[in-house]
Amino acid sequence: MKHDSRCRSIVASNVAKNYGDILALGPVNVKIDEGEFVSVLGPSGCGKSTLMLIIAGLLEPTVGFVEVNGKLLESPMTDVGVVFQDHLLLEFRTAIQNVLLQQEVRGLDRKVSVQRAKELFKTLGLTGAEERYPRQLSGGMQQRVSIARALVHDPAVLLMDEPFGALDIISRTQMRHDLERLWMESRKSVVFITHSIEEAIGLSDRIIVMSNSPGRIVEEIRIDLPRPRPAYLGKYPEFAKFADEIYKTFEALGVYHFK
């Protein structure tokens, strides 16, 4: 991966979102620094996807604003790759054709994009899957293709909304590791939405913990564990400390009722 595509900062200031009369999010203040991997962790319905869409410039906040590299975000971010829980691949296009959709839509150089797509297929363990259709791929492979599609244009920012949410736990753990390795090579700024405490600790430089709906930020935890992190995080005593802190926060908020 190239190293020239950078985002110096993303700042969401006092951002809140109403859907009709219902306050769905915030207000929240979020700052993502250059090359930082930040997870947003919170209970279902607290507004995580809403926050991600606002950061992407795809949804307008009711209150507050977002700045990217110090400039007000007034339209959808373009130097970005987005991955959702559903792979959203086009069934009538092969895996590589799905990835190269970015090149077509963005009018990028075909040769460079094909080369980069092939490299991504290799890094993501997809070699040999280029000419297969989505229905011929496993769920994990489909999601890997959607990650390749999000990265083929070498964006400065990667936004991921529960990208492994639909996968089994074994695939999830492998995907976590592969994403971490990929990120370590490129150090893009990443916002990663998740429900999984383990996934957040396994991947992040920093975790933003949100409350129940309407989501507010209740805690920010810097995860200073060495990388790459192992499949079984329990081997780090620090992992247990971070996980305990987050579980306690969720218990205090009433997200969990353990007796």
Ligand X SMILES: Nc1ncnc2c1ncn2[C@@H]1O[C@H](COP(=O)(O)OP(=O)(O)OP(=O)(O)O)[C@@H](O)[C@H]1O
Chain residues binding ligand X by CB under 6 A are 19, 24, 42, 44-50, 195, 213
- Angstrom distance (rounded) from CA 220 to CA 31: 11
Q: What angle do CA 232, 190, 126 make, to 5 degrees?
A: 65
Q: Which residue lies nearer to ligand X by CB, 142 or 194?
A: 194
> Whole-number minimum distance, CB 124 to ligand X, in Å?
25
Q: Which residue lies nearer to ligand X by CB, 154 or 162?
A: 162
DSSP state of 250: H
Token reading at 174: 């492998």
DSSP state of 230: P
Q: Which residue lies nearer to ligand X by CB, 31 or 195?
A: 195
The residue type of 80 is V
Q: Is the peptide bond before 27 cis (omega within 30 degrees of 0)?
A: yes
> Whole-number minimum distance, CB 195 to ligand X, in Å?
6
> Whole-number minimum distance, CB 68 to ligand X, in Å?
20
Q: Are 197 and 247 in contact (CB under 8 A)?
A: yes
> Whole-number minimum distance, CB 201 to ligand X, in Å?
18
Q: What are the backbone dihedrals phi and psi of residue 27, each rounded to the nearest 5 degrees, phi first?
A: -75, 145
> Whole-number minimum distance, CB 193 to ligand X, in Å?
7
Q: Which residue lies nearer to ligand X by CB, 44 or 75?
A: 44
> Whole-number minimum distance, CB 30 to ligand X, in Å?
14
3-class secondary structure, 134: helix
Q: Which residue lies nearer to ligand X by CB, 15 or 156?
A: 15
- Angstrom distance (rounded) from CA 195 to CA 40: 8
Residue that is written with structure tokens 């070699």 in the block: 127
Token reading at 31: 């700052």
> Whole-number minimum distance, CB 254 to ligand X, in Å?
16
> Distance between alpha carbon 135 and the CA centroid of its chain, in Å?
24
Do you know the residue count of the chain? Answer: 259
Q: Which residue lies nearer to ligand X by CB, 49 or 98?
A: 49
Dihedral sign for Cα 68, 69, 71, 76, please. negative
Q: Which residue lies nearer to ligand X by CB, 22 or 105?
A: 22
Token reading at 257: 């009722």
